[in-house]
Amino acid sequence: MGIEPLSPAPGATPDEIVRNFIDAAASARPGHRVAREYLTPEAARTWYPEESETTVISQDFATVTRESGAVEVTANPVGTVDPWGVFTVAPLGTFTRQFALEQVDDEWRITDPPDGLIILEPDFQRLYEETPVYFFDPTYQRLVPDPRYVIAGEGLPTAIVDRLLAGPSGYLSAGVRNALAGARLRSNVSLDGQAAIVDLTGLPAEPSPMLAQASAQLVWTLSRLRNVSIRSVEVRIDGEPVDIADVPDTQTTEHWTAFDPEAVPLGTVGHYVTGGGVHTVASGEAIPGPAGTGQYGLVAATVSIDPASGDPSYLVGVQPQGAVPPCWPARTPAS
């Protein structure tokens, strides 16, 4: 992670400038100072790659210099990461991008950089950390992970809190709730050993369920970072520690176990598949309906648990190849 890119070499060809510009995207330092050195002065002043998506391409990309002097890059696309860290797998096809260059003091420089970064897959895997930010399910009883990709390094805690405050990704937004909606960071997240201090503004300071929920989101999100060890979090609002009954100023996940995203509700009954049907672990009895009797000939199944009651709500099963996969309510709703 500590490997930083090199500045342009004197006398570099247009092809070398473009290739090394792509290599220079692999930097953990804010601002991508070295990558800007490959641009004309005007392009460097107006290039803000952090505000646009990052494109990840295969390592074995090709470059061709056209008669016009432009350099065309062709590669297999891997995916994109938007400014909030949401990764999207690239569709099948070919990534192609042309770079225009001109000479500045007898050295070739790029005049039209992409809006965001173009980064090679090995560099992406080396520099970026996949980590969840947490939002609540609609009942506010459990935290739901929303995976994000963020550049690892000293700025990681601040970057991940920024993404948490920005809200859930598009595919989750309709199904989760954010107690931190409207909040902003007053300053960067600071670290004192393994303790983080998060100072917010835009939230009410008086005790409320929302304040506890917001704290739980922050504590669980920061505690899941891999490259930065955070064991406790002090949440502040406008410089003052939050006041939550029975919770100290310095919070850990132990104070928010009720919202544990990996916990199973008390009273939840396990299930297993045998003889093509789904049975309960507690009694060994088949569940009601054709899924339990073996009518569908299941070889595997997964059950969704209602977080409020611990009862099964939906079941998805796997049938042998050629059969139609079933998806049905695990229990008949009361009439």
Helices and strands per DSSP (H, E), number in the chain: 7, 22
- Scanning the structure block, which residue is given the tokens 């598009």? 170
For the stretch 46-91, pLDDT in tens is: 999 988 999 999 999 999 998 888 999 999 999 999 999 999 999 9
Task: Tell me the CATH class for 14-116.
Answer: alpha beta
Q: Residue 155, class by beta-carbon neighbours within 10 Å (0-12 exposed, 13-18 middle, 19+ buried)? A: middle
- Give, for 49, the enclosing helix (H) or strand (E): none
**Residue 50: predicted pLDDT:** 87
- Sign of the dihedral defined by the CA atoms of residues 168, 174, 175, 178, in that order: positive
pTM of the model: 0.75
> Please, what is the end-to-end C-alpha distance for the chain in angstroms?
59
Q: Each residue of 96-144: pLDDT tens digit?
A: 999 999 999 999 999 999 999 999 999 999 999 999 999 999 999 999 9
From residue 190, alpha-carbon distances to 121, 158, 197, 234 in Å are: 31, 8, 5, 10
CA dihedral 150, 156, 159, 164 (to 10 degrees): 80
Cβ neighbours for 67, distance < 8 A, ≥ 6 positions apart: none
Q: How far apart are CA 330 and CA 266, in angstroms?
A: 19
Residue range(s) of every CATH 3.10.450 domain in the chain: 14-116
The least confident of 32-36, 151-155, 159-163 is: 151-155
Q: How large is the average pLDDT for residues 15-27?
A: 95
Q: What is the residue-wise DSSP string for 51-111?
A: GSPEEEE-SS-EEEE-TTS-EEEEE-EEEEE-TT--EEEPPSS-EEEEE-EEEETTEEEES
Note the pLDDT of residue 333: 44
Comparing C-alpha atoms, which of 295, 304, 293, 244 is closest to residue 271? Answer: 304
